[in-house]
Amino acid sequence: MNYMIKHQAAGQLHIKLPSRRLTAEEADVLYYGLLERPEVISVQVYRRTASATIRFLKGRSADILEYLDGMDLHSPEAIEALPGVSARATNEEFKEKAATKVLIRLGKRMLLPFPVRAVWTLANGAPYIRDGLKDLFQRNFSAEIVHASAILASLLTGDFNTASSIIFLTDMGEMLEEWTYKKSVDDLAQSLSLNVTQVWKEMEDGTFVKCSIHDVSDGDCIRVGMGSMIPVDGVVVRGEAMVNQAALTGESVLVEKRLESTAFAGTVLEEGELVIQVRAVSGKTRYDRIVQLIEESESMVSVTQSRAEKVVSRLIPYTFGTAALTALLTGNLTKAASVLMVDFSCAIEVAMPIAVLSTMREAGRNQITVKGGKYLEMVSEADTIVFDKTGTLTNATPVVEEVVALDGRDEDEMLALAACLEEHFPHSLANAVVKAAKDKGLEHEELHTSPNYIVAHGIVSSLNGERVVIGSSHFVLEDEGAYISEEDRQRVLSMPTQYSRLYMAIGNRMAAVIGISDPIRPESTQIIRELKEAGIEHIVMMTGDSERTAQAIAEQAGITEYYSEVLPEDKARYVQAEREKGRKVIMIGDGINDSPALSAADVGIAIKEGADIAREIADITLSGKELEKLVILRQLSKELIARMNRTAWVGIAFNGAILLGGIAGLLMPGTAALLHNTSTIGLCLNNMRDILPEAEDYEDQ
């Protein structure tokens, strides 16, 4: 792409394209292409001047320039990948709407005679009056009744200018409120879009090869295994599975998928395996469904917001009654109209949801994905956190330290086979095995049959007609009854005690044990201390690992209560028991075996580097590698509740002052309308601000 650098400063770049003006499509390709870059913080694209301003992380200007050099604004793939709802287009649309409304009002006041303006006002006011009367007859005391009454009172007194001002200001207020809401929803939906980079693609010879998602086209077939996210829309051509579609449809019951069933991007395969023929590679359909789900989801409404809405809904009849009493006592309909401009509900019904959406968006920028406002409120109230150990308290990137080949087998061959099995069901330990094989340059073919994952145990497959199993010692040695010679047993016992171990057997004989170093995250001790200081009274660690390993990690982290060698159902039962005691419980995990406990908790938090199913079931996902995201999440949730409470009280107090001013005759209806709408918009804009100080991490050089 050809462009000129107009200005470059620390962490910021302003570019100019050769075109005099960008098309909407070109602007969206530039905007979303840059926004998806991991080093980009924010993007502003200016269609009319064919330019853009980019803010990015420190030391990443070369990456930005390299990406811009290779960018093609007319690429069919880039155009196809555009979301169905464009934040940039939404902003442009509302700016034009606002400018048009202002110009029409100025032109009408300057060019049209009074009789024509009066008829115009009557025509524009009629829908408000109709809606207000409809709600009144239905005994629904809404804001529409208040607005309709104010307009009607002005018209009855012959004050057409005031009626026109009320209509204009109400229209502008509603439009700006809609703008801020849609922008917040769109920003949030963008942060929830898919982030799948690799898939298993079927080749012409029937084998499956791992490749980039960008190498997949419509008509290709991909394989999705248990616990993995379906990355594209498509149709099932082979296999049967049970799929969790809750993230898109809200269904809590698993949906069966079989031949010719439609599979949706972003859903998670919980049981079975599918081969899917791709029908839509782009994230457009996923994106549109996310937007719809956010707008319709009851989870967006927090308890605090619901409580505030009930309070203000009771105030609307009093506003109406005060206006009627003012008219009776003073005989002045203008004062009554001023009183009727007070609508206590706007600040609550508009500004508070925006506070929730903006906080969710800010959480997203801190690599925290929150699926609903109520979960933020629950985090603020939580007094108990239950940690899984592996991949959560311990390092997200454990390392293979030793491979002990048994039964006369070759060490590299065993590592390659283990990696071949584990790469189908990624979790932290599996990733370590795959990386170790890759670092040693061990290439492996898919010689085994399709692997099956057994929750909390391991993987089962077949190689050259022999059963292959890999997993815990309990699974391989006890459940499977794999034979191990006394000599090999002593070799295994001599491995360092701090290693986590993966056992592998072929043909019911022990073939290898892989020792994995799973060190505690360096920040764990400090984070545990900070969580206690933030009001988390009860911190617990649960793991399927041995007592020896669990004790060592718990002591290093500063956790006094821990449980070892637990099964998935044990974790879920513990969480449920704590909730029955009246505790507010957060569960944090990263594996398939953590899913039951994540579901049972008040708030389930998953680590993004873990299993797809854990992320899908969880209410919140931490994308960063540092546990400090937990402290940030707690701060955000606490400040959100404080902001929502302030919004409610400021809205009520300010509108109460307007009401008193109207009764006293100090405010005309137009002025009251202006103040009311200005206060609502001001609260909305305030609630769109970030809660936490912006990190200075985008300075270049």
- Whole-angstrom Cα distance, residue 593 to residue 474? 15
Q: What percent of the chain is helix, strand and coil (3-state, nearest 5)?
A: 50, 20, 30
- Whole-angstrom Cα distance, residue 165 to residue 155? 12
510 neighbors 536 (Cβ within 8 angstroms): no
**Which pLDDT score, from 0 to 100, does residue 507 have?**
93
Q: What angle do CA 132, 160, 146 make, to 5 degrees?
A: 25
Alpha helices per DSSP H over 494-611: 524-533, 547-557, 568-580, 595-600
φ, ψ dihedrals at 603, nearest 5°: -135, 120
Strands 51-56 and 40-46: antiparallel
**Which pLDDT score, from 0 to 100, does residue 540 have?**
94
Strands 268-280 and 255-257: unpaired
φ, ψ dihedrals at 578, nearest 5°: -65, -40
628 neighbors 521 (Cβ within 8 angstroms): no
Three-state DSSP class for 661?
Answer: helix
Three-state DSSP class for 158?
Answer: coil
Tokens of 499: 């290693």
- Whole-angstrom Cα distance, residue 350 to residue 174? 9
Residue type, position 423, single letter: E
Q: What angle do CA 600, 603, 609 make, to 5 degrees?
A: 95
Please give the full DSSP string across 497-510, using - where no structure is assigned: TT-EEEEEEETTEE
Give a three-class secondary structure readout of 22-64.
CCHHHHHHHHHHHHCCCCEEEEEEECCCCEEEEEECCCCHHHH
Q: Does this model's pTM top 0.95?
A: no
Which residue carries 């793991």 as its tokens?
543
151 neighbors 659 (Cβ within 8 angstroms): no
Cβ count near 441 (within 10 Å): 7
φ, ψ dihedrals at 376, nearest 5°: -65, -40
Which residue carries 């028991």 as its tokens?
577
**Which pLDDT score, from 0 to 100, does residue 698 have?**
37
- Whole-angstrom Cα distance, residue 515 to residue 513? 6
**Which pLDDT score, from 0 to 100, does residue 482 have?**
94
Please give the full DSSP string across 276-343, using - where no structure is assigned: EEEEE-SSHHHHHHHHHHHHH-GGGS-HHHHHHHHHHHHHHHHHHHHHHHHHHHH--HHHHHHHHT--
What is the mean pLDDT for each group of 10 consecutive residues in the chain (701 residues)? 86 89 87 80 85 86 88 82 66 78 85 88 88 78 69 77 77 71 62 63 85 78 84 87 68 76 80 83 51 50 56 64 74 70 66 79 80 84 89 77 94 92 78 89 71 77 89 88 93 84 93 88 88 91 80 88 85 92 90 78 80 70 75 91 86 81 75 75 82 54 36
146 neighbors 316 (Cβ within 8 angstroms): yes
Distance of CA 389 to the CA centre of its chain: 24
Specify the DSSP class assigned to residue 521: P
**Among 433, 346, 365, 352, which residue's Cα sits nearest to residue 397?**
433
Specify the DSSP class assigned to residue 159: -
Specify the DSSP class assigned to residue 395: -
- Core vs surface per residue 234-257: b (16+ CB within 10 A) or e: bebeebebebbbbbbeeeeebbeb
183 neighbors 91 (Cβ within 8 angstroms): yes
Tokens of 157: 């007194």
**Among 174, 123, 180, which residue's Cα sits nearest to residue 147?**
174
